[in-house]
Amino acid sequence: MIKELDTIVLSHDVEEHGLEQGDIGAVVYVYKNEAVYEIEFITGEGETVAVLTLAPKDIRPMNEHEIPHVRELIPA
């Protein structure tokens, strides 16, 4: 179960925001019945890149054995 403030992993690219599969975001809101989630993606300096409403198929919880990875954001 994904809940507010959880760290999630993006399941596919979102080219219009420069996001790639595997990017990490934070759940800022869970809609009724967990039908969709509001997810914020930020830079390392805390600047918001995008806040997206995504379905469960678009995200997954971060696994305890995964390591965050850094890449340079290329604006769309």
DSSP reduced 3-state for 36: coil
pLDDT of residue 51: 98
Q: What is the pTM of this model?
A: 0.91
CATH fold group of domain 7-61: SH3 type barrels. (2.30.30)
pLDDT tens-digit map of 2-19 = 999 999 999 999 999 999
CA triple 49-24-59, angle to 5 deg? 105
Q: What is the mean pLDDT of the chain?
A: 95
Largest CA distance in the chain: 35
pLDDT of residue 18: 94
Q: Per the structure block, which two tokens stand in for 63?
A: 């696994």
Query: What are the structural domain ranges in the chain?
Result: 7-61
62/8 Cα distance (integer angstroms): 5
pLDDT tens-digit map of 45-62 = 999 999 999 999 999 999
Does residue 74 carry a pLDDT above 90?
no
